[in-house]
Amino acid sequence: MDILLVDDDEAIRRVMGRMLAERGHGLKLAASGREALRCMEEALPDLVISDVQMPGMGGIEFLREAGGRFPETPVVLMTALGEVGETDAAFQYGAYGYLQKPIKAEALLAGIRRLEERLMEENC
């Protein structure tokens, strides 16, 4: 599965990116919502995982923009505990899922497996 990982924190991109790549996922990294939109214009990923709190274009604004331009691409948002109030807005704009930081590898990988299964069912 090709995944676009969006987070302004370079350490999070590096650690999560390594974990996903080690499990065989294709990976693109973006440090901002605007950079992620440019990546999506070049090649649509199978999944986007984006932080909510980022300078400039935040995760909710990115979700709204990406959902309008690329509605077939699922977006999962990541948030710290204090930001959970944005969950309703995220689902209103079409978020596929929501993960709380710190991200547990098992939860992330289980969510990716569920998405892969759903996509396989839809394409059969």
What is the pLDDT confidence band of residue 89, given thresholds at 50, 70 and 90? Answer: confident
Of 7-11, 13-17, 63-67, 90-94, least confident by mean pLDDT is 90-94
CATH class of 2-123: alpha beta
All structural domains of the chain with their residue ranges? 2-123
Pairing assessment for the beta strands 26-30 and 2-6 based on DSSP bridges:
parallel
The SS3 of residue 72 is: coil
Cis check: omega of the bond before 74, within 30 degrees of 0: no
Dump pLDDT digits (tens) for 25-77.
999 999 999 999 999 999 999 999 999 999 999 999 999 999 999 999 999 99
